[in-house]
Amino acid sequence: MKAMIFAAGLGTRLKPLTDHMPKALVPVAGKPMLEHVILKLKAAGFTELVINIHHFGEQIIGFLEANRNFGLTIHISDERDMLLDTGGGIKKARNFFSGDEPFLVHNVDILSDTDLKALYEYHLHSGNDATLQASPRKTIRYLLFDDENLLRGWINKDTLQTKPEGLIYRAGQYREYAFSGIHVISPSLFRYMDRWQGKFSIMDFYLQTCREARLGGYLTEQLRLIDIGKPETLAKAEEFIKTIL
């Protein structure tokens, strides 16, 4: 099974730690964020990974070499010339994902108790072009799913801004879930990216494409998750890790 880890971010929220290292190598409970995600993927049965790099990318390459790629096949998608955001990063890496085999995408700064293999298996049988893991945790930005768990839009509850254009939000019409930063993509999705160039967000792409592509939700009611890309949660991450191991 194949997966991609987003490790190219600048990590501006974690300054000054990221003034001298990439966010992916910031330690959490004695191990870099990247190592936690790699080992979780490996434990779930993923054997081939793509990792994108930008900020201090050479440090990530050196870290992987020093650890002999953790016994996995690991490819580098090099964005050191231009940071492409999540959507552009996936499109750049598409040559690693030829054929029909889906691949899982995981943000490097997310720790959770999700069952990655179960998510992947769900996607295989869903008929979706992409499956987004989401949960009902409290936030201000929600993905909107219909009764068939298909993505129909997004809302910011503070501003009442909605996407895609023309979406009219009515309370109770949709199932409202927060995105986890973990999703599974089939190569069939790439045909919808043909008109998207350069740097773009995968979420912007999903929301503008959800009326064409089949984008589903893997809706997990009890998901425990922490975003360790912020200083206030980085401090809590060591205790969190103990609860999910």
pLDDT for res 245: 66
**Which one, of 36, 49, 9, lies nearest residue 229 by Cα?**
9
d(CA 69, CA 111): 20
Express as a percent the part of the chain with pLDDT over 70: 100
Cα angle, residue 9 at apex, residues 180 and 34 outer, rounded to 5°: 70
pLDDT value for 56: 96
96-155: pLDDT as tens digits: 998 899 999 999 999 999 999 999 999 999 999 999 999 999 999 999 999 999 999 999
Of 131, 219, 209, 208, nearest to 176 by C-alpha is: 219
How many folded domains does the chain comprise? 1
The beta-carbon contacts of 80-83 under 8 Å, at least 24 apart in sequence, are: 80/53, 80/54, 82/198, 82/199, 83/8, 83/10, 83/54, 83/55, 83/199
Provide the residue range defining the domain that includes 70: 2-244
Spatial separation of the C-alpha atoms in residues 158 and 136, rounded to whole Å:
17
User: Does the pLDDT value for residue 244 go beyond 70?
Assistant: yes
Task: Say which CATH number the domain at 62 has.
Answer: 3.90.550.10
pLDDT in tens, 3-60: 999 999 999 999 998 999 999 999 999 999 999 999 999 999 999 999 999 999 999 9
